[in-house]
Structure 1
């Protein structure tokens, strides 16, 4: 395939995309934070949270519309719905990496005197309610439809996958910032310790490398990334890992990400994305 990277650079506008994605999320989420301390009802807070979550998807749709490119639209729809892009041999990795890492991390934490009760499943979790289950599925669906739908490709059109993953990891991690100011929200509870707060940002940064690798190794399948993201969310929601254990999880995922980068040096450091298909195709 001829190198069409210059065409990709002209079609993709990363600065505009991330500005829209951040603006929508931060406006609604900081508003949520305000009302969480000033008498906002559960319904209002839930609506504002949902609207903020729409940021990446809305940004992607706006950018595809602005591109006036039928090819980009067709490519997006195929990546969004086609299962044939997924490499079947990677399904165990997609579905079970994070749960497996969590089990290993819990085992290590028990050696440090932490509770073996972490080896349980929280069937009484708040995520077992209808709104909780909807949120569990909607969050990764909307995020991946935006991040992997447009955002990562837009960064990839201008740099190597390694630099893309560095950039996206930082952007994705700090995109969550308003959530730390919402009273009673999970991220807000992490502020009790600088270590736990830092661990969240580092874990998001590390996961960016892993998901981006899955994205390009599965022919830019958004569904593959959604399934990985969903699997991680389900594991984190229903397995009661302590914060100490979550720090161990981050270390283990960092090792996994390091191995992935080393074993895929050509993909991360050499291949140029041509604006169609996976890098190097």
Structure 2
């Protein structure tokens, strides 16, 4: 789905902007469609029902909401201000008001990808990779696949520092891929601790995207933030490494858990 827009950009195909956007939207829907289709193929109707329950599973411990909406952004800020010269650029007045931020959050959750991505990545792929390779190795593999799925967007370069994420060089993609792999491990940890809630994966993913795009680059309008994703790579891996150490690589996954058949009617944690 991403190939026609790429060919159009490089002059090998002639498509209107409307058609190009249609292909881009179809590509965005790939993970959710694949997740439901493959769940139906491998588990039938009961599997689809379980996946839908996991997407609707919002009744989890309040602390997980605090982590997703406040804790993760706090780590992102910390990883940003430790970079030389960044704190001096802080512009608190640039932070959007509450309503504007909430509007951006909803838009980012839907248009920005989390709602259409996580039913595939978290709903279908995570439990299978986790069962086959364990939560740590499975998470690294899933993070790598997730990053590669974003690769077509980096094949259309841009030198505009307002573009997010920055995508001017191969290094930009490498830094971005590392950040996404670390973030995926964090998402896996949250999901494993919230009864496999896909809803929480969507929320965490949306919090990351929204705080970066609507707040962080406005609060710190410096080239080290606007022109690089390295601060978020530091944020993701600082937290991921702490979680790996604390959980001894289990990332909240019980040693004998069968994540494909686990029901979601146990009390929230």
TM range (shorter): 0.7 to 0.9
SS at match of 2:94: coil
Q: More displaced, 259-268 or 37-46?
A: 37-46
Distance in 2 between the 1:156 and 1:77 partners? 20
- Gaps in structure 2 of 5+ consecutive residues: none
- 2:224 corresponds in structure 1 to 244
- 2:142 corresponds in structure 1 to 168
1:63 aligns with 2:38: yes
Alignment partner of 1:48 out of 23, 26, 44:
23
Distance in 2 between the 1:108 and 1:152 partners? 33
- 1:207 corresponds in structure 2 to 183
1:142 aligns with 2:126: no
1:98 aligns with 2:65: no
- Report if the CA contact (8 A) 1:98-1:235 is conserved: no
Aligned Cα root-mean-square deviation (Å) = 3.2
From the superposition, tell whether residues 89 and 204 of structure 1 become closer, same or farther in structure 2 (CA, over 3 Å): same
From the superposition, tell whether residues 260 and 133 of structure 1 become closer, same or farther in structure 2 (CA, over 3 Å): closer
- The Cα of 1:273 is off from its aligned counterpart by 2.6
1:30 aligns with 2:42: no
From the superposition, tell whether residues 114 and 50 of structure 1 become closer, same or farther in structure 2 (CA, over 3 Å): farther
Alignment partner of 1:257 out of 225, 240, 256:
240
- The Cα of 1:80 is off from its aligned counterpart by 1.1
- Gaps in structure 1 of 5+ consecutive residues: 1-27
- 2:94 corresponds in structure 1 to 120
- The Cα of 1:104 is off from its aligned counterpart by 2.1
Cα deviation 1:99-144 (Å, max 9, x = unaligned): 2123223322364686334873368xxx9999x9746524110101
Alignment partner of 1:108 out of 56, 72, 82:
82
From the superposition, tell whether residues 113 and 258 of structure 1 become closer, same or farther in structure 2 (CA, over 3 Å): closer
Q: Determine which structure has the larger helix proportion and give its number.
A: 1
SS at match of 1:69: helix
Distance in 1 between the 2:231 and 2:93 partners? 15
SS at match of 1:168: helix
Distance in 2 between the 1:114 and 1:32 partners? 40
- The Cα of 1:160 is off from its aligned counterpart by 1.1
- The Cα of 1:61 is off from its aligned counterpart by 1.5
Q: More displaced, 92-101 or 208-217?
A: 92-101
- Report if the CA contact (8 A) 2:109-2:206 is conserved: yes
Cα deviation 1:192-232 (Å, max 9, x = unaligned): 4x443321111011111100111111100011010111111
From the superposition, tell whether residues 212 and 69 of structure 1 become closer, same or farther in structure 2 (CA, over 3 Å): same
SS at match of 1:272: coil
Q: TM-score, length-normalised on structure 1? A: 0.75
Q: TM-score, length-normalised on structure 2? A: 0.78
